[in-house]
Amino acid sequence: MSTTADPSAADTDSPSKEARLEQYLLERAQDGEMYFKSKFIADEVGLSPKEIGALMVKLKDSASRLTIEKWSYTSATTWRIEPTEA
């Protein structure tokens, strides 16, 4: 009997959390700018609001197809995103 590693442990076929969030935002902002709070999209993206907030800070610097701006803070950060001009 041979032992093999659990194939789901590597999970190389699924996108990273950051890539999944970026793709979601690109789809939602395809028609123009979008405003959102992490807590309102958490279920749709499958991430916690805290994870989304941390990823948004990373995406702000790394996402070349999106313009990301910390817009305001009223009980939670509101983010403004829009697709960049190609």
| Topology adopted by domain 16-83 | Arc Repressor Mutant, subunit A (1.10.10)
Q: What is the pLDDT of residues 56-68, one digit of tens each?
A: 999 999 999 999 9
Output the DSSP codes for the chain: ------HHHH-TTSPPHHHHHHHHHHHHTTTS-EEEEHHHHHHHHTS-HHHHHHHHHHHHHH-TTEEEEEEEESSSEEEEEEEPP-
User: What residues pair up with 67 in beta bridges, in sequence order?
Assistant: 82
Task: Enter the pTM of the model.
Answer: 0.77
Q: Average pLDDT in the 23-45 region?
A: 95
CA distance 65 to 55: 15
* Average pLDDT of the chain to the nearest whole number: 86
Instruction: Provide the residue ranges of all domains of the chain, joining segments of one domain with +.
Output: 16-83
pLDDT tens, position by position, 7-28: 444 445 678 999 999 999 999 9
